[in-house]
């Protein structure tokens, strides 16, 4: 005789909880939720409270325990639903009040226009300038093999640039490229000669001061054809420097030494901070080096499967951050990567 009422109590309790949940979902104001709580969960005669009081009348201990767990779970479910619906209605009311409080006649705050980062600007300018000269932009891997980064660009084993204090090695054979020069050889192997390319991309070295960074952007350039001479490189670099810095900026070419070019040169421009009089940035010289280059070494041409008896070429490489510092008069290049929006907004 007791089994049937126990099952009926459980089924009835579930049906009552479903009705309660439907009413909670349909409630449009918090006052309605208070009425629902009193009707179903009130201490004296709440519809679900009544089922809790009947649990003690069940004779079978196992049935009593199971029914008690079920009824308690239904009560907890209805309670949570009421609180969630109350929070939703309160948030909606607060939002409506805020919307109503807006004075549409009040002038809006001025819009802040975004600015390109100086490095991004210089990158765009460099690509545009060399595109006018017929150069095509190419790319290569940043995690590079040792032979492409060093050996094939005429830096044999034992060269100081291979030292771990200068280079980030991944393992014995691979490293984070220290320059974009490896793409020279890759481009020669793929495209042969003649060709005219630039290689914009990231490079990595163990450096960090006002003008050097552990990760920096570099643009490598290369032109290979029959009859290419050092005078062609000089004219190309002058066109680039005048396009970036203007016709009034002083320039100078100096002899230098790079393993992958022979002869080699460096291009300097007068310091934008001190106007050539000498300051901390230019170390009192009045000049700052912006790039190095020269005629591609015959060994490098051979490593790229280009016959040096038929073709010659020049190559150059520049740090984009250094160009940005000189173009915009930035004294400390670390400002470029401090993530201070005030610095970018100056543009």
**Is the pLDDT score of 6 beyond 50?**
no
Instruction: Give the Cα separation of 220 and 333 in Å (integer).
Output: 20
Q: What percent of the chain has pLDDT over 90?
A: 34
Q: How confident is the model at residue 299 (pLDDT cuts 50, 70, 90)?
A: very high
Same domain, residue pair 124 and 88: no
What's residue 70's pLDDT? 84
Higher pLDDT pick, 131 / 278: 131
Q: How confident is the model at residue 130 (pLDDT cuts 50, 70, 90)?
A: very high
Same domain, residue pair 204 and 249: yes
Number of folded domains that form the chain: 2
Q: What percent of the chain has pLDDT over 70?
A: 90
Flag whether 106 is in a domain. no
Place of tokens 């995690």: 143
Flag whether 111 is in a domain. no
**Using one digit for the tens of pLDDT, what is the confidence trace for 11-68?**
677 888 888 888 888 888 888 888 888 888 887 778 888 887 787 787 788 887 888 7
Place of tokens 């109590």: 9
**Using one digit for the tens of pLDDT, what is the confidence trace for 170-187?**
988 899 998 999 999 999
Q: What is the mean pLDDT of residues 233-250?
A: 90
Instruction: Give the Cα separation of 149 and 155 in Å (integer).
Output: 8
What's residue 211's pLDDT? 61
Range of the domain at 71: 3-101
Flag whether 329 is in a domain. yes
* Residue 176: other Cβ atoms inside 10 A: 18
Same domain, residue pair 244 and 210: yes
**Is the pLDDT score of 7 beyond 60?**
no
Residues β-bridged to residue 256: 264
Q: What is the mean pLDDT of residues 319-327?
A: 84
Same domain, residue pair 145 and 238: yes
Q: How confident is the model at residue 325 (pLDDT cuts 50, 70, 90)?
A: confident
Average pLDDT over the chain, rounded to whole? Answer: 84
What's residue 310's pLDDT? 95
Asked if 154 contacts 299 with a C-beta cutoff of 8 angstroms, the reply is yes
**Is the pLDDT score of 135 beyond 90?**
yes
Q: Which helix (H) or strand (E) holds 256?
A: strand 251-258
Same domain, residue pair 208 and 264: yes
Same domain, residue pair 236 and 338: yes
Last residue of a domain, one of 101, 136, 171: 101
CATH of the domain at 249: 3.30.930.10
Quote the pTM value: 0.62
Q: What is the mean pLDDT of residues 76-97?
A: 79
Proportion of the chain in helix, strand, coil states, percent, rounded to 5 = 45, 20, 35
What's residue 68's pLDDT? 79
Place of tokens 């350039």: 221
Asked if 317 contacts 293 with a C-beta cutoff of 8 angstroms, the reply is yes
Same domain, residue pair 92 and 181: no
Instruction: Give the Cα separation of 122 and 130 in Å (integer).
Output: 12
Flag whether 107 is in a domain. no
Same domain, residue pair 85 and 193: no
Same domain, residue pair 178 and 320: yes
What's residue 8's pLDDT? 43
């Amino acid at each position: 005789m007791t089994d049937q009422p126990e099952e009926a109590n459980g089924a009835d309790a579930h049906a009552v909880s479903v009705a309660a949940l439907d009413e909670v979902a349909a409630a449009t104001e918090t006052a309605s939720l208070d009425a629902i709580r009193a009707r179903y969960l009130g201490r004296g005669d709440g519809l679900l409270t009544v089922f809790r009081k009947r649990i003690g009348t069940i004779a079978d201990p196992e049935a009593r325990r199971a029914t008690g767990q079920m009824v308690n779970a239904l009560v907890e479910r209805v309670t949570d639903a009421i609180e969630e619906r109350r929070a939703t209605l309160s948030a909606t009311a607060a939002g409506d009040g805020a919307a109503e409080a807006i004075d549409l006649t009040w002038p809006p705050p001025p819009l802040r226009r975004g600015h390109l980062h100086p490095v991004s600007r210089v990158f765009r300018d460099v690509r545009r300038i060399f595109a006018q000269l017929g150069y095509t932009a190419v790319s290569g891997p940043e995690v590079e093999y040792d032979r492409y980064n060093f050996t094939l660009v005429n830096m044999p084993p034992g060269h100081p640039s291979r030292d771990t204090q200068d280079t980030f090695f991944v393992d014995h054979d691979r490293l984070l490229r220290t320059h974009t020069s490896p793409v020279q050889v890759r481009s020669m192997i793929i495209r042969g000669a003649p060709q005219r390319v630039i290689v914009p991309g990231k490079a990595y070295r163990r450096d960090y001061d006002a003008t050097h960074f552990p990760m920096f952007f570099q643009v490598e350039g290369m032109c290979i054809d029959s009859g290419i001479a050092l005078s062609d490189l000089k004219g190309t670099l002058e066109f680039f420097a005048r396009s970036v810095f203007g016709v009034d900026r002083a320039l100078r070419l100096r002899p230098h030494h790079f393993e992958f070019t022979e002869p080699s040169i460096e291009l300097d421009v007068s310091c934008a901070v001190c106007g050539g009089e000498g300051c901390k940035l230019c170390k009192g010289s009045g000049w700052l080096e912006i790039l190095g280059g020269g005629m591609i070494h015959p060994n490098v041409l051979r490593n790229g499967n280009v016959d040096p008896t038929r073709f010659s070429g020049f190559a150059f490489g520049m740090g984009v951050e250094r160009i940005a510092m000189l173009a915009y008069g930035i004294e400390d290049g670390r400002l470029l990567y401090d993530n201070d929006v005030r610095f970018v907004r100056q543009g």
